[in-house]
Copies of this chain bind each other. A is one copy, B any other.
């Protein structure tokens, strides 16, 4: 079992495991042989030209393989995925093997030119692009059909032969990162560049956004505190606070785009060309010709998908939203009933009964959320999107709308139907604080504790075996493969999005929300960092240039909050007192102010450039250079043609 299939083994004595592949127990020998051969095979033969080593475990019945690659192979892979790196003259350029000498820190013996996360991303990319040639099925599994060009790894995953594929942690690097990230209590920025080196751009960008957002909330929090301390209730102060909040939220979202551009330019992802996206693994259809590539692949009619989206998914989502509103109405009825009951027969039991509706409602919301999430995933998958990105966008949209309603519908009801500002403030505070505490607990601390317990048990078991193989590596792989999988930044962004809603939607009623948000986010940074470093498997790095659809979601929220805040101010007794007998004038004034604020928001979003000037200049310079190079080439050609 200790044999290795790598043809390059002789040249690469120091095999460095980067990625782990776990095959199902009892996978046929024939299949393993074929798969590993394809992995190590030469590029020219349609292989990935990587290195493979089986991991020898104590029991011996597990099919775990370590994947690595030669330094040269990784450099060529970096060119294939289109990595952008810094050059000696401090400009950012797409890496090519032939121009490797011009890049900063490049040396033929410097194996740290590519970060480990980049190497793992390259290997993942190469594995996923391992495509079937003339195989009609996976050898040994006739039911797992293949067709020319189908990604082998994706078929192995969907047919259950490949259990998982994940990148290994680098224990030393991780220790260093932990140290500088949350090891010591300090005031300062997160080591975003180091996070990016270790976890990749998507995760670094999330932490960057979290940090930025926390800083951006501080002015709101600072201004909000005196409202609480001095119990200010003058309407003009509230109007000022709300106006500041609304304009401020526009500014911070625009400025984030600029900061994001600065970061992703430094990381090279701003310049990275979009690769052609292959169909996602769940995509199915009849075999046809892809009109873009001209290759054979499953095709699925776009009209059918539109029909599914608009005739099934959309009505279903609307129904769910309606149902959620219905449940909310029952909750308010129950609440009223409990209150009446308590008033009629005051007792300890009736006192307890007061809490029952809230508890039931909280439980029901949680259940509905879970069921809906499951349904949304099923529906979006059934819509059969060809691309992972389009799948993600449709899923995010569905979940976002439902969560928005679930979180804020009761607040809207209290504010705009019951007109009870005191209850609104109270509910807002309760919802915000409890959700923050629950999240922190459920998201990081609980898994961390479970993970720690599991680790201890594992360690004991492995130590008791006392084999003579490389214990630490076996131990590490076995530990990490049991760790939970981090499913992307979706839930983290969702949490921030809802928090932004709590802070901005009713900011003129509860100025203290920003304070709680800031406090939460400071601990959130630490608990999320803990989660990434200790609780979950290392995720594959994913290059990205922005936070994508979340930017739009946050901007939409800030538009909605203009409307809600204007209405709230218009409803406040202080403002009403200003227009004693002219309700109409009041409403017209509020509407006018709202439209003005919206207009200012849009003009501000239009006027503030999305990229800082120096980034714009750098991008323009790169474009200019490539145009010049083209022109030079043409000039040469022209001169030759005219000479003839």
Chain B CB within 8 A of A143 CB: no
> Could you say which residues of chain B place their CB within 8 Å of the CB of A275?
627
Q: Which of B44, B294, B587, B613 contacts A587 (CB 8 A)?
A: B587
Which of A106-114, A144-152, A616-624 binds B? Answer: A616-624
Q: With a CB–CB cut-off of 8 A, which chain B residues contact A635? A: 43
| A624 touching B98, Cβ below 8 Å | no
CA distance A561 to B641 in the complex (A): 58
Distance (Å) between the CB of A99 and the closest chain B CB?
11
| Contact, CB under 8 Å: B587 / A641 | no
**How many protomers of this protein does the assembly include?**
2
Contact for A641 among B72, B291, B293, B631, CB less than 8 A: B72
Interface residue ranges of A281-315 to B (CB < 8 Å): 291-294, 302
Residues of B within 8 A of A44 (CB): 639
A529-573 interface bits toward B, Cβ cutoff 8 Å, 1 = contact, 0 = none: 000000000000000000000000000000000010000000000
User: Given the complex of chains A and B, what is the CA–CA distance between A291 and B72 in angstroms?
Assistant: 36
Task: Tell me whether A49 is interfacial, beta carbon within 8 Å.
Answer: yes
**Is the C-beta of A79 less than 8 angstroms from some C-beta in chain B?**
yes
Residues in B neighbouring A583, C-beta threshold 8 A? 583-584
Q: Does A634 lie at the interface of the complex (its beta carbon under 8 Å from any beta carbon of B)? A: yes
A623 to B275, CA, bound (A): 9
A10 beta carbon closer than 8 Å to chain B: no
CB under 8 Å from chain B, chain A span 94-126 = 96-98
A252: interface (CB < 8 Å): no
**A620 contacts across to B, CB distance below 8 A:** 292
Q: Please, what's the 1-or-0 string for A622-642, where 1 marks a CB less than 8 Å from any CB in chain B?
A: 011001100100110111011
Residues of chain B lying within 8 A (CB to CB) of residue A97: 634, 637-638, 641
Which residues of A368-421 have CB atoms within 8 Å of chain B's CB atoms? Answer: none
- Knowing A292-B624, A621-B291 touch, does A641 contact B76 (C-beta < 8 A)? yes
B641 near A595 (CB under 8 angstroms)? no
Which residues of the other chain, B, contact A43 by a CB distance below 8 angstroms?
635, 638-639, 642
Does A588 interact with chain B (Cβ within 8 Å)?
Answer: yes
Q: Looking across the interface, which residue of chain B has its beta carbon closest to that of A595? A: B563
A276 beta carbon closer than 8 Å to chain B: yes
Instruction: Name the residue in A49, A587, A613 with the highest tally of chain B Cβ atoms < 10 Å from its Cβ.
Output: A587
Q: How far is the CB of A42 from chain B (nearest CB, A)?
A: 8
Chain B residues whose CB sits within 8 angstroms of the CB of A292 once the complex forms = 617, 620-621, 624
A593 close to B (CB within 8 Å): no
Say whether A474 faces chain B, with CB atoms less than 8 Å apart.
Answer: no
Answer whether residue A591 sits at the interface, using C-beta atoms and an 8 A cutoff.
yes
Q: Does A80 contact B (CB under 8 A)?
A: yes
The answer to whether B587 touches A293 (Cβ under 8 A) is no
A80–B631 touching, CB < 8 Å = yes
Residues of B within 8 A of A631 (CB): 80
Q: What sequence of 0s and 1s flags, for each residue 216-250 of chain A, a beta carbon within 8 Å of any chain B beta carbon?
A: 00000000000000000000000000000000000
Q: For A49, what are the chain B residues with a Cβ–Cβ distance below 8 Å?
A: 642
Q: Looking at A72, A80, A97, A292, which has the most chain B CB atoms within 10 Å of its CB?
A: A292
Task: Decide if B276 touches A637 in the complex (CB within 8 Å).
Answer: no
Contacts of A628 in B (CB 8 A): 276
User: Closest CB of chain B to A605's CB: distance in Å?
Assistant: 13
In the complex, what residue of chain B is closest to A591 when comparing beta carbons?
B591
Q: How far is the CA of A613 from the CA of B80 in the complex (A)?
A: 29
What 1/0 flags go to A61-92 for Cβ under 8 Å of B? 00000000000110010011000000000000
Contacts of A79 in B (CB 8 A): 634, 637-638
Nearest Cβ in chain B — how far from A633, in angstroms? 10
Nearest chain-B residue to A635 (Cβ)?
Answer: B43
- Tell me which residues across on chain B come within 8 A of A591, comparing CB atoms: 587, 591
In the assembled complex, the Cα of A44 lies from the Cα of B637 at a distance in Å of 11
B584 engages A627 (CB within 8 Å): no
List the B side residues contacting A587 at CB < 8 Å. 584, 587-588, 591
Docked Cα-Cα span, A183 to B43, in Å, equals 64
B291 touches A617 (CB 8 A): yes
CB distance from A585 to the nearest CB of B (A): 10
Known: A98-B637, A302-B613. A624 touches B276 (CB 8 A): yes
| A291 neighbours in B (Cβ, 8 Å) | 617, 621
How far is A274 from B375 in the complex, measured between Cα atoms in Å? 45
Cβ-closest chain B residue relative to A613 = B302
**A638 (CB) vs chain B CBs: closest residue:** B76
CB proximity of A232 to chain B, nearest CB, Å: 28
A413 to chain B, nearest CB (A): 16
B-chain residues with CB within 8 Å of residue A584 when the two chains form the complex: 583-584, 587
Tell me which residues across on chain B come within 8 A of A42, comparing CB atoms: 642
Task: List residues of chain B with CB within 8 A of the CB of A634.
Answer: 76, 79-80, 96-97
| Bound-state Cα–Cα, A72 to B97, Å | 37
Q: Which residue on chain B has the smallest CB distance to residue A598?
A: B598
Could you mark each residue 253-296 of chain A with 1 if its beta carbon is under 8 Å from any beta carbon of chain B, else 0? 00000000000000000000101100000000000000111100
> Bound state CA distance, A381 and B413, in angstroms?
54
Closest to A606 in B: B552
A72 touches B627 (CB 8 A): no
Bound CA–CA A44/B636 (angstroms): 9
A sample of 12 more A-B contacts (CB under 8 A), given A276-B624, A276-B627, is A72-B641, A72-B642, A73-B642, A79-B634, A97-B634, A97-B637, A273-B627, A292-B617, A292-B624, A293-B621, A294-B621, A584-B584
Contacts A/B (CB < 8 Å), 16 sampled: A49-B642, A72-B641, A76-B634, A79-B634, A80-B634, A97-B634, A97-B637, A276-B624, A276-B627, A276-B628, A291-B617, A291-B621, A292-B621, A292-B624, A563-B595, A587-B588
- 5 closest pairs, A vs B, by CB? A76-B638, A292-B620, A292-B621, A291-B617, A587-B587
